[in-house]
Amino acid sequence: MSKKWFQLAERGAGEKRLLFSYWTYRMLGERALKFIAFFVSLSVWLTAKERRRASFKFYKFINKPPFMSSIKQFLNYGNSLVDKFISYTGDLDPEIFILSNPEIYKGSFFITTHIGNIEIMRSLIDKLQGRRVNIFLQANACKVFNSFLNQFAVKVNAEVFPVEDISLDTSIMISERLKNGELVFMAGDRVSAQNTNMVYEGDFFGEKIPLPLGTLKFALLMESPIYFIVFAKEGKKYRISTRKFESYRENKKDTLEELKKEYSKFLEEYTSKYPYQFYHFYDITSRD
């Protein structure tokens, strides 16, 4: 039986590693941090059997040579973590962003993917828009992220919420924030550890894969503009690709069905475009 992402111990993350990265970056700069990330990524590829196995299976699934594709994926991920870290420190230059759709709309709900590096979105918005961002992450990631920022008093125009703990109060608060022009980001391609049965089957390269239903229902509940979004690296820059969901129907159930279809299509399209930046590292095809 394949393990889900939430059953695997986190590697390459954590507060201590963030602190080490912080001092390495401050004392030795970005090149030194990327040099270390290269060897750490190779080490993880060699030792993390479950992730490597899932990576091999994924590239076979999308008809790519698994061995070299997997190594490239892990190395790209290491570099993406460096970019993400630099964005946390506030040093990321907004000139590295290419906006396919130049306008970021106020009060929008963005359904994200694990393609590319969506977390650095905050850096762009801080620099160019000054809009508050609300991000839903796994609870452990929230704890590590907030602890790191608090230690170094890094000022961010963002609030991070655990995706496992969305209450009625949270829903009301997020709805109000959207009405006030704030932005919300939530991933649509990882099944929640707390809601493993709340899934739907999405079309993905000719097969059916389990995807989280809760994200889509939550987005529709907010009654705000909904966008799918990918932040993928092209050379030394990041291209921002968005697509607005507009297939609303009179019946809410029919609207949800359209949202399922369009998100699955978006996920497949951008996985095809950026196959080595699909940072899942678990078996996305497993229904167990």
* pLDDT tens-digit readout, 153-174: 456 667 778 887 788 999 999 9
Query: Does the residue 49 lie in any domain?
Result: yes
Q: What is the mean pLDDT of the chain?
A: 82
Query: Does the residue 282 lie in any domain?
Result: no
Query: Does the residue 285 lie in any domain?
Result: no
Query: Does the residue 287 lie in any domain?
Result: no
Does the predicted model carry a pTM greater than 0.75? yes
Domain that holds residue 145: 5-277
192, 163 contact by CB (below 8 A):
yes
Query: Does the residue 286 lie in any domain?
Result: no
Q: What is the pLDDT of residue 102?
A: 52
Confidence at 1, pLDDT banded by 50, 70, 90: very low
Query: Does the residue 33 lie in any domain?
Result: yes
pLDDT > 70 fraction of the chain, expressed in percent and rounded: 78
Domain count, the chain: 1
State the Cα torsion 52-56-62-65 to the nearest 10°. 120
Q: In angstroms, rounded to a whole number, what is the distance separating the alpha carbons of residues 63 and 57? A: 10
Q: What is the pLDDT of residue 146?
A: 60
Mean pLDDT of 246-251: 95
Confidence at 136, pLDDT banded by 50, 70, 90: confident
Query: Does the residue 120 lie in any domain?
Result: yes
Q: In angstroms, rounded to a whole number, what is the distance separating the alpha carbons of residues 136 and 134? A: 7
Query: Does the residue 244 lie in any domain?
Result: yes
